[in-house]
Amino acid sequence: MLLLSLLLKAALLRLVNSYHPFYNGFYYNHVMNDDDNGHEKVFDFNGVRLVVETSKDPIYSFSTANVTLPCHYHHEPESEAKHKIRIKWSKLRDDYTKEQDVLVAIGKTYMAFGDFQGRAHLHRTGQREATLLISDVRLQDDGKYRCEVIDGLEDASDVVELRLRGIVFPYQPPRGQYSLNFHEAERVCQEQGALIATFHQLFQAWSEGLDWCNAGWLADGTVHYPIRLPRKPCGGVHLAPGIRSYGPRHRHLHRFDVFCFSSILRGEVFYLDHPTRMKLEEAKQACQDAGAEIAKVGHLYSAWKFHGLDRCDAGWLADGSVRYPIAKPRANCGPAEPGVRSFGFPRKGRFGVFCYKDR
């Protein structure tokens, strides 16, 4: 029986070497079978198991910062690597069906890919370390990352999550409520200096107090809305507070609002006024004359959230809307709660303007 088992493993090993079921930058595979519980059972070559470990807790950062995603590996029982160690970092997509290559390394040589070129580096301060350093963090860097280590035919991996500190805000375009399909929703968030929010980001915003009765797209193509105070028009008074869900929707045919996500700004938002106020085109020119650009909606929300921007004067924004941020509620400045107030998209009227200047 033992001889039969060894012959079977040898046959599987030849199969691994002759057929590559998938390619992820390196050719390799485990010899696997299923145990009685339906879980993968791995036969360790030479009785040695490769173990990869990352942080079990999310790593928090913000846009424009540098962040370190820890990853270490070892063998059980303890032994030295018999081959040149290969390392691969990948970013998991929201739908978990594909991966984006971040960096691959063999020995001391490594290469970063795509948007990570020039920003992703291996950080090795000790032996058996495969830590990833990302510089100039961007909004799209938020998400889960897989650290994969390959030693000959042995491979192992673990996942670490990078979460950006930011703010989620609901958005409707000038043409009104429920007018965006999924692809349009992605685009309008980008136009406002933001990205379409993930479910985790919406949940975090709800836990911090976001209450909004209009349904909006999220990054995975599902539609939700956050309710803190149950009421009849928002799912009924008998439902508990939470995230209401419409589930996945057709990305071309169905239309909703959208929830966008923005993080801490590199620059600053400031208010400009004029004795006679300004029309939209005049407001854009005033920002340019000040060495800046007219602010986007994401800029204003970020400045309000992270820099305490407080101004009880309405101002133009780049999308043609008129808004103002209130950090300290007071009389004649809207509701009793802090927030960004909106006058919508006035076709006529003269206002001040919020400008954004990068640093």
What is the structure's pLDDT at 95? 62
Task: Give the pTM.
Answer: 0.80
The residue assigned the tokens 């990869």 is 52
What is the structure's pLDDT at 98? 67
d(Cα 320, Cα 333) in Å, to the nearest integer? 21
What is the structure's pLDDT at 42? 46
Residue type, 328: K
Q: CA–CA distance from 181 to each of 186, 254, 318 (Å)? A: 9, 6, 21
CB 234 within 8 A of CB 213: yes
CB 319 within 8 A of CB 344: no
CB 215 within 8 A of CB 244: yes
What is the structure's pLDDT at 2? 41
**C-alpha closest to that of 141 among 123, 119, 124:** 119
**C-alpha closest to that of 68 among 107, 120, 108, 15:** 120
What is the structure's pLDDT at 244? 96
What is the structure's pLDDT at 141? 95
Q: pLDDT 10s per residue in the chain (359 long)?
A: 444 444 333 433 333 333 333 333 333 333 333 344 333 344 455 577 899 999 999 999 999 899 999 999 998 887 776 678 999 999 997 666 667 999 999 988 999 999 999 999 998 887 889 999 999 999 999 999 999 999 888 899 999 999 999 999 999 999 999 999 999 999 999 999 999 999 999 999 999 999 999 999 999 999 999 999 999 999 899 999 999 999 999 999 999 999 999 999 989 999 999 999 999 999 999 999 999 999 999 999 999 999 999 999 999 999 999 999 999 999 999 999 999 999 999 998 999 999 999 98
What is the structure's pLDDT at 124? 80
Residue type, 290: A
What is the structure's pLDDT at 34? 38
What is the structure's pLDDT at 94? 64
